[in-house]
Structure 1
Amino acid sequence: MILIETTPNNAGVTIQGDYWDFDQLYNAIHETVGDDGEYEAYSATRLRVLALCYDLRHARMGDREFTFVSNGLTDETRLWRGIVAPDMNLYLSILVLWPELLFYALALNDFAELRAAKLSRDSYNPFENGNVIWDASLAQVRMFQAAVWSCIEQTVPPTVLGRIRNLMLHSRTSYANYATQYLDVLNIRFLKLNSEKRVKNISIMAKRLVEMDDEYWGYWNGINRAARAYGCAPEDIRLQIEYPEEIDW
């Protein structure tokens, strides 16, 4: 089971799970976002979401943090069953910044719709199609999104929950041809805040990702002009901004 909790200073979250939890989520995301070039308009968004898979894969390889979580096994159960077993399970752990996490949850809605359309062959109401209802990859993605929402509920004040829910669930924002560099702008801006202000700005980050205001379109236009000038894909353009060397998680 994937567990998501905000970090001590609210810079982001820890995503925790055992080896097989991470393995299932890794494979589910890969299946959902499709192959390279399959959804051409989503190439930049796909690469950004696959950054999560990069961390999941390295966690499985032992190159990330880990923690121990109670497995519920008691001395009485061990005695009754006549077994010798630990009472803690090893959970892998990765860190993700809050704006990045919100983007993953939002962008995966687009990819879920694309996969549902593919599996149902563009049938009417694809999510009610028999090939989609029991699709394991989509189920895993929805469980991840549910874990994200559970973490939001436990982190932000109740007064803003409804606003965030409306932004994330009822918006028809498309992340096709999205300028993912803008996410770096939001990440760095978020990191400059103190712990208390970070919590208050989670809803603002969601708003920036969903509503795509004039600031976003300014970056989008500049990035696409640069891509045309250099003859490259927009996702290959890098902004002249830098992340801090150390993050106060």
Structure 2
Amino acid sequence: MLSIESTERLTGGRISGDYWDLDELITSIYEVIGDENKYYDYQGARQRILGVCLQLRKATKGECNIEFVANGIHKGIEKRKDLIAPAKNVYFSVEILWPELIFTALALNDFIDLYNEFVDNNPWNPHTTTIRKFQSIVTECLREHLLEEQFRVFIHLMFTKSPKYFRYATQYVDVLNLEYLKLSYDERKENLGAFAFRLMVEDDEYTALKNEIMATAKLTKNEIHELPIQTKYPEHIEW
């Protein structure tokens, strides 16, 4: 079963599941966000989501964390069924920075709306329901670290303003990731909700960054999602 829990230092969320849990999520995301020729004005958001998918795929290859999780098998079942079976299943997990994980969950809303409009609006579509499950466990994990009022506002904003990430300057996610990494554990506890809101409301810092990127894009004839900003992530992250 797919699950998410906060890391020990509240640096990010640890996404965990067996191979098929993670593979199902990756496959559903690929289906819903479409190929690179679809939804061009959402390419920045699409590329960031694909970055998370890459981390999930690395996890399924055993390149991140491997856990052994009890599966319910016990001696009574083995005796009754006359079999010998492992008592634990192999689970894979990977950590994603909290701002990145929140952005991914939010941006998938836009792609679900696009998918429903242009591809399949069946409410029981297996790909959109898989993504909704992923979003729900992200938000439930986040709920543990927000005040009740903060969480109510977060959920309200999550589903009331759409689209959120049309021609979005996704470089801002890097800015928030790096700011968040500099915080202490106590500062993260106090400010995680504020970081979530900054991904949903275009504040002055975001507007200034986007204006700067757009000015550069006008000179270079690039799209805004094609322009990197100067960022340097630490080689080692304490999760």
Give the TM interval when normalised to the shorter protein: over 0.9
Alpha-carbon offset, residue 67 of structure 1: 0.9
Q: Which amino acid aligns with 1:59?
A: A
Deviation of 1:157 (Å): 3.9
Please name the residue that 1:116 is paired with.
116
Aligned equivalent of 2:162, options 172, 191, 196: 172
Among 182, 200, 213, the residue aligned to 2:190: 200
Tell whether the 8 Å contact from 1:153 to 1:161 is kept in structure 2 after alignment.
yes
What secondary structure, in the 3-state scheme, does the structure 2 residue paired with 1:62 have?
Answer: coil
Aligned mate of 1:242, from 216, 232, 239: 232
**Cα RMSD over matched residues?**
1.4
Between 3-12 and 207-216, report the one with greater CA deviation: 207-216
Show the counterpart of 1:9.
9
Partner residue in 2 for 1:36: 36
- Write out aligned runs for 1:63-212 (5 A): 63-120=63-120, 126=121, 132-212=122-202
Question: 2: CA distance between counterparts of 1:199 and 1:11?
Answer: 10
Is 1:18 aligned to 2:18, yes or no? yes
Letter in 2 for 1:102: I
Q: Aligned residues: percent identity? A: 37
Runs of 5+ unmatched residues, structure 1: 121-125, 127-131
Stretches of structure 2 lacking an aligned partner (at least 5 in a row): none
Does the CA contact (< 8 Å) of 2:105 and 2:138 recur in 1?
yes
Q: Measure, in 1, the Cα distance between the counterparts of 2:70 and 2:190.
A: 32
Query: CA shift at 1:173, angstroms?
Result: 4.8
Structure 1 ranges of 4+ moved more than 6 A: none
C-alpha deviations, 1:4-63, integer Å up to 9, x for none?
A: 000000000100010001110010000010111210110111011111111121122222
Conserved in 2, the CA contact under 8 Å of 1:168 and 1:206? no
Aligned residues: 239
Distance 1:169 1:16 in 2: 26
TM-score normalised by length of structure 2: 0.95
Once the two structures are superposed, what CA deviation does each residue of 1:177-217 show, in whole Å capped at 9, x if it has no partner? 01010000000111111112212222111111111111101
TM-score by length of 1: 0.91
